[in-house]
Structure 1
Amino acid sequence: MIVEHLSINNFLLPSRSLPELRFEDFDKLSLSEYKWIHFEGRNVTEVLKMIDKINLHNENVSEDDRITVSVEIEKPRIECQYLFPKGDLVFVSKDYARHQGYETAGECLEGNSVHTKDQCRLICAWGEDGAWGRDKDGTLHHSPGFPRKEL
């Protein structure tokens, strides 16, 4: 079950449960209206079909009209491994990285970079230690974590 949230004045209010998006629904979209589409690592079989449709779209349009695809791999689900080569930007959680056996975000980025497509940006968040990113050229970058402000 998925629970979406609405943010109103910094309060999270639960809304009704929403079903997973199916390819049949996604297929009704006019992709020419989008520049960036983000996917979460859920319902992977359907997500792969959606990304394949975007890739076909991108092959038939100018570079300026291509859609950027980002993918979030958070939960340690085995099928999420098939999403790595699909994103232009791939976000990996600390939980998933540890599930893969990595001890640091840098190890995760290095190990998973071989599974991504050329020019992919790869980011791994590591809790209070911040996040590491690997840019299109393979250079690693780090952003420290910031302490949470008490309300």
Structure 2
Amino acid sequence: MAGHGNRLSWAVGKKRVLCTGSTTIDYVSTVKNFPEEGIHEKAIAGYYLRGGNASNNCTVLRNFGVNVEFFGMLSSQLIFQILIEDMKARGIILDNCPTCDEAPPFASVILTKSLKARTLVSCNRGFPYVSIEDFRKLELGQYGWIHMRALHFDTTMAMLKDIAAYNASRQEGEDKIMVSLEFDLRLDEMFPMLDYCDYAFFSKQLASDNGWTSLENACSQLNERLHMRWGLNLKRPLVIVLWGDQGAGIMDLDGNYTHAPAYKPRKIVDLLGAGDTFVGAFIYAKYIRERSERVCVDFGNRMASYKITRNGYDHITNILYPPGW
């Protein structure tokens, strides 16, 4: 595990980052070729690990030394305790998570070496999400940044409105909470959430459903949709579209597009969680290091590229130090 508090002191004095979402058990198999029907394909390697977008974001941020809290439903089942103990050992705060007795969600992941690709099959048999009542037990004043995934529309929208009300109650000069949202499913349904966030991340997964043909086209279509909104005091977020090995597209508050190219790693070992690494690295660069958005996106690209050269996340901060540190 990377030293999160001893070598990385930039986060000292910063308020806590809250990541809202889920944590899952991921069963990962690495194969040479993707299995064909009726063919027994022997795995080169296999292991299980803690997954879930928000859970991974927390791991990345802790490796950067950030004071981070996970906010999601936990399970009391014995197998889930492995995940809880791992988060606690890393210093990820779980104090405000509700708990249920339901079977936890899990995912089966196949990493195919010949294709340099990953296939993910997730299973969530009605595992409950945190409620707005759970969220309202939080003391919002302890957070400087809150990151959410755009899911469970009614609950997430209620959370966003509570944060907006909190920010509106702050006096001039008082800290407000920065809000970021990650969109990868059902964009039409989730689009109204954009009125309440400062930063919006969009995945390439949305491309086929929305007719996006490229990074620039995706940003252009999103810009058009943002212009078509109607209402008073609508918030315009900075838009970041992630497009795998093509890097990321940035659309600023005036609708100007910039391309941030990806970095090409010498080898690809583990593609799982590259997007989560990008998001965590961006939050670190923007909130903790207070860099420009362009620099933050470039940093996210660099960290995502370095992440996939090894399994897991504990190596990512090694790139920040000279050899022999």
* Structure ID, larger Rg: 2
* 1:66-145 equivalences in 2 (<5 Å): 66-76=176-186, 78-113=188-223, 114-115=225-226, 117-145=234-262
CA separation in 2, counterparts of 1:140 and 1:41?
A: 23
Q: Deviations over 1:96-143 (max 9, x none)?
A: 133111212222222223428445210001111111011234332222
Unaligned runs of 5+ in 2: 1-21, 27-46, 51-78, 81-103, 105-126, 228-233, 269-309, 311-325
What is the TM-score of this pair, normalised by structure 1?
0.81
CA separation in 2, counterparts of 1:64 and 1:4?
A: 36
Q: Secondary structure at the match of 1:84?
A: helix
Moved over 6 A (4+): none
CA separation in 1, counterparts of 2:48 and 2:261?
A: 26
Query: CA shift at 1:57, angstroms?
Result: 0.5
Q: Secondary structure at the match of 1:69?
A: strand
Q: Deviations over 1:11-55 (max 9, x none)?
A: 761373374221110011111111110110211210000000000
In 2 relative to 1, CA 77–112 (structure 1 residues): closer, same or farther, beyond 3 Å? closer
Does 2:24 match 1:4?
Answer: yes
CA separation in 1, counterparts of 2:138 and 2:160?
A: 13
Query: CA shift at 1:81, angstroms?
Result: 2.0
Q: AA paired with 2:211? A: G
In 2 relative to 1, CA 100–31 (structure 1 residues): closer, same or farther, beyond 3 Å? same
Higher relative contact order (CA 8 A, sep 6+): 2
In 2 relative to 1, CA 77–89 (structure 1 residues): closer, same or farther, beyond 3 Å? closer
CA separation in 2, counterparts of 1:118 and 1:3?
A: 30
* 1:4-43 equivalences in 2 (<5 Å): 4=24, 13-14=49-50, 16=80, 17=104, 19-43=128-152
CA separation in 2, counterparts of 1:98 and 1:146?
A: 24
Q: Secondary structure at the match of 1:65?
A: coil
CA separation in 2, counterparts of 1:5 and 1:94?
A: 24
Equivalenced residue count is 146
CA separation in 2, counterparts of 1:12 and 1:54?
A: 35
Percentage identity across paired residues of the two chains? 26
Query: CA shift at 1:83, angstroms?
Result: 2.0
Q: Secondary structure at the match of 1:53?
A: helix
What is the TM-score of this pair, normalised by structure 2?
0.41
Query: CA shift at 1:144, angstroms?
Result: 1.4
Contact 2:196 2:235 in 1 (8 A): no
Q: Secondary structure at the match of 2:185?
A: coil
CA separation in 2, counterparts of 1:32 and 1:58?
A: 10
Q: Deviations over 1:63-95 (max 9, x none)?
A: 541111111001245422222222110011112
Q: Which moved more, 1:87-96 or 1:140-149?
A: 140-149
Q: Secondary structure at the match of 1:35?
A: strand
CA separation in 2, counterparts of 1:110 and 1:97?
A: 13
Q: Secondary structure at the match of 1:98?
A: helix
